Amino acid sequence: MVAHAVTLRLARADDVQALAAMSRDLIEAGLGWRYSPQRMHRLMADRDTVVLVACDTAAVQGFAVMQFGDQRAHLVLLCVQPGLRRAGVGRRLLHWLLQSADVAGIESVHLELRADNDAALAFYRRMAFTETGQVPGYYGGQIAARRMVRRLRQAASSP
């Protein structure tokens, strides 16, 4: 699979099953399944949430979910099929969302990742995120989370 054959688009209702299955199998492996098709559908329907899909002619190859607030955004999920990891798909998904956040005037993007996911940690560090702390048992009481942030601009000062 060639990464340049993958295009980005907003998720559609017919993507819900694939996104939920990828989350279950590739993100939530070993944990309870939280991002079911119903939850994915609710995220897609939320006007403050963007669900972005990376796909080729055959299937969804990756996706990202980001919730936007007034000054902060939260990267909820980012997932790429194993065969396309380190091929630029995750970088393209995240770059699209970071540009959207910047245009929206967002000050910072926050995320959590499994503390046992060294590849994801290295990826987010390359994408200019910095670690802000750890939360023991964050994932179902079983696995700690690392919290990270990327500042897009300085916080607005109070008058």
Residue 71 lies in a domain: yes
Residue 78 lies in a domain: yes
| Ramachandran region, residue 14 (left: φ > 0; alpha: ψ -120 to 50; beta: rest) | alpha
| 3-state class (DSSP) for residue 27 | helix
The pLDDT of residue 4 is 57
Residue 158 lies in a domain: no
CA distance 136 to 27: 18
Residue 156 lies in a domain: no
Tokens found for residue 7: 């295009």
Total domains in the chain come to 1
Per-residue pLDDT of the chain (159 residues; tens, 9 = 90+): 455 588 999 999 999 999 999 998 887 777 777 888 999 999 999 999 999 999 988 889 999 999 999 999 999 999 998 887 888 899 999 999 999 999 999 999 999 998 988 999 999 999 999 999 998 888 877 888 999 999 998 766 555
Q: Tell me the CATH number at 34.
A: 3.40.630.30
Nearest-5° Cα angle at 130, 124 to 136: 90
Residue 87 lies in a domain: yes
CA distance 145 to 158: 32
Residue 149 lies in a domain: no
The pLDDT of residue 84 is 78
Tokens found for residue 144: 């700690």
Residue 138 lies in a domain: no
The whole domain housing 24 covers: 3-111+118-130
Residues β-bridged to residue 39: none
Residue 13 lies in a domain: yes
Q: Phi and psi for 109 in degrees, rounded to 5?
A: -115, 130
CA distance 93 to 96: 5
CA distance 26 to 107: 29
